[in-house]
Amino acid sequence: MTGRVHFIGAGPGAPDLLTLRGCRVLKESQLVYVAEPYDQIFAELLVGKEVRIPFDYYFDELISQVDEQLKSGNIAFLIPGDLTFYSPFQALLDHFSAVAEVIPGVGTANAASARLKKTFDLPGVCNRAIIASPRTLGDDNAPTISDLAAPGVALLIYMNNLPLDQLVADLRTGYGEDVPIAILHRLCLSGEEIVSGSLDTIVAQVGDRDFFNLKTADKRPALTLVVVGKTLDTSVDGSWWDYRRDHIWKFRSGVEK
């Protein structure tokens, strides 16, 4: 092997949310593995390159192919969002670890926070944020979504596969009260839809829309993120800011008190 394998975090779907480093490495790569919809999103940056779809191959097939390709130079994988959460690329990374480099991207959680204009932890309101997916909570020993939902929790639910009324009922049990919820569908992509409401209103607000691909033959998780928690409808005043200025920031060395 002479080349390197770059795993480039592609961000949530807006081309200008690719990092400068990701963009540079992508431009330098002659062979790029990229799945839909990123092949269309980054079409301009992919002109003249050999483009392959990683999910067209079984793992061993893909490994042998990449091994061969590395004899001729570097290759890149454009990975959805960022590697940090729910990335299917870990086995490849482990295999090519010695010649691999990961370039961070803007994850869906970051894009959701930006779109909602809310931080997901907020002192006194949400003292923890939990990232989970009902798809990976399947086995007997794992907690359920209602075990994870609790007062003080901001919950980020990826790849939901529960019918919305069931998900909401589980969340209601965990939180023990009505709390704000936002459903972010195809963030930064064409057809983006964001529905903000509360556990008591969201089912009626969503109506017949199939945000989780539950009524189609398509087995892929829908590009939909669910965010729940009181931080979504809480506004804060400047008292926390002033408290930190009094107790922390004004004691920085070199700063006049």
Ligand X SMILES: C[S@@+](CC[C@H](N)C(=O)[O-])C[C@H]1O[C@@H](n2cnc3c(N)ncnc32)[C@H](O)[C@@H]1O
Hey, is 196 helix, strand or coil? strand
196 beta partners: 182
Kindly tell me which of 72 and 90 has the beta carbon lying closer to ligand X. Answer: 90
Between 7 and 96, CB nearer to ligand X: 7
Q: Which amino acid is residue 111, in one-letter code?
A: A
Three-class HEC string of 197-220: EECCCHHHHHCCCCCCCCCCCCCC
Q: Is the Cβ of residue 69 or residue 229 nearer to ligand X in the bound state? A: 229
| Cβ distance to ligand X smaller for residue 70 or 212 | 212
In the complex, the smallest distance separating the C-beta of residue 211 from ligand X, rounded to whole angstroms, is: 9
Helix (H, G, I), strand (E, B) or coil at 100: strand
Instruction: Tell me which residue has its CB nearest to ligand X.
Output: 81
What DSSP string describes 236-252? --THHHHHHHHHTGGGS
**How near is the Cβ of 9 to ligand X at its closest, in Å?**
7
Strands 224-228 and 153-157: antiparallel
At its nearest, how many Å lie between ligand X and the CB of residue 122?
22
- 148 neighbors 174 (Cβ within 8 angstroms): yes
> Shortest approach of ligand X to residue 131 CB, angstroms?
10
Residues that bind ligand X (CB under 6 A): 12-13, 80-82, 85-87, 107-108, 158-159, 184, 186-189, 221-225
125 vs 210, beta carbon nearer ligand X = 210
CB of 257 to ligand X, least distance (A): 42
- The CA angle 188-192-196, to the nearest 5 degrees, is 110
